[in-house]
Amino acid sequence: MKRLILLGVCILLLGCIDQSEKVSMLPREEVLEIFESNIEGEEISVDFLLYNGYIEVNLWDKQSYRIEATKWARATTSEDAKRTAEDVKVDFSEETETGGVTLVIETEESINAGVEITAFLPRASFETVDLSIFNGDIQVEEVTATTVSLVTINGDIKASVTADDIKVKTSNGKIRGFYQGNQVIIETTNGRIDIECGYSGEYDVETFNGDIDIVVNGDFKFNLETTVGEITVEADGVVYTLDDKDHKKGYTAEDYTVIITASTVSSITVLKQ
C-alpha cells in the first residue's frame, strides 16, 4: 500500500512539473504602461500590491516619479497572449493627505499573467514604504523612511533600508541587504539570510531552512539558536552568558547598541565589522 501511495505522489509531482514546463513554453507577450508626474515639497509614501512579477524601486535626483508597469501574459498563441496582457488591470492612484502623498498600485490576481514594476522615485525621506507581492522578487535601493514593510509569498528580497520599523518577510526565498532600524524583523521559511545591521536597534532574524550570516556595525548583545548547525560569533572580547553548541547568548561589550536574536535549523554566523 505504501508503495502505491508513493507511486501516486510521484506521478502527481511529475504531472505538476510537466504542467509547469508546458506553461513556460507558451508564447509570452508584454505591454508597457507608464505612470509619471512631478511631485514637489510633499512627504511620499508607497503602497504596492502585485501578483506574479517583481517590484524594483530605484531613487533618482528628480522631483518626479516614473513607474513602469510591464504587464505580461502567456497563452497558446502570441495574439491571445498580447490580448490578455493588454487586459491586465493596473490600478494606480495618488492619494493626497495633508503634507503628503501616497503612490498606490494594486493589480489583479491572474493565471499565466502578471505585472513587473520598476519605479523611479525622488531621493527623499519617505513616510511609509509598503511593498507586497505574491510570487515575485523585491529589490529596493537605499530607502530612508519611518516604516518599511517588504513582503513576498514566493521570492527573494534584496534591499538597503533605514527606518524606525522594518519588516522583511518571504515564505520561500533568500533575504539580503543592509537594514538599519529601531525594530527590525527579518523572516523567511525556506532560504538563507545574509544581511548587514546598522549601528543600533533590535533585530529579530529567523529562517526555518537556511544559513544566517549577519554583519554588525558596532558592539552587540546576542541570543542565537540552531537545531543542527554551528553557531559562530566573530568578534574580539566576546562574553558568553550561555555557551551551548546549539544555543549561545552573550555580548561583545557592556555598552552594546545592537541586540540580535536569531534562529534557524542550519548555521549562524555573526561578525562584528
pLDDT tens per residue across span 224-265:
999 999 999 999 999 999 999 999 999 999 999 999 999 999
Q: What is the CA radius of gyration of the chain?
A: 22
Residue 2: pLDDT band (50, 70, 90) is: very low
Q: Which residue has the cell 511631485?
A: 39
Asked if pLDDT for residue 11 goes beyond 70, the answer is no
C-alpha cell belonging to residue 106? 494594486
pLDDT at 124: 87
C-alpha cell belonging to residue 271? 561578525
pLDDT at 23: 55
Mean pLDDT of 106-134: 96
Q: Which helix (H) or strand (E) holds 224?
A: strand 220-226
Residue 122: pLDDT band (50, 70, 90) is: very high
Asked if pLDDT for residue 4 goes beyond 70, the answer is no
Q: What is the pLDDT of residues 168-209, one digit of tens each?
A: 999 999 999 999 999 999 999 999 999 999 999 999 999 999
Helices (H), 53-179: 78-87
Q: What is the pLDDT of residues 44-91, one digit of tens each?
A: 999 999 999 999 999 999 999 999 999 999 999 999 999 999 999 999
pLDDT at 16: 40
Asked if pLDDT for residue 125 goes beyond 90, the answer is no
Which comes out higher in pLDDT, residue 23 or 210?
A: 210
Residue 14: pLDDT band (50, 70, 90) is: very low
Distance CA 127, CA 45 (A): 5
Question: Exposed, middle or buried: residue 83 (CB in 10 Å: 0-12, 13-18, 19+)?
Answer: middle
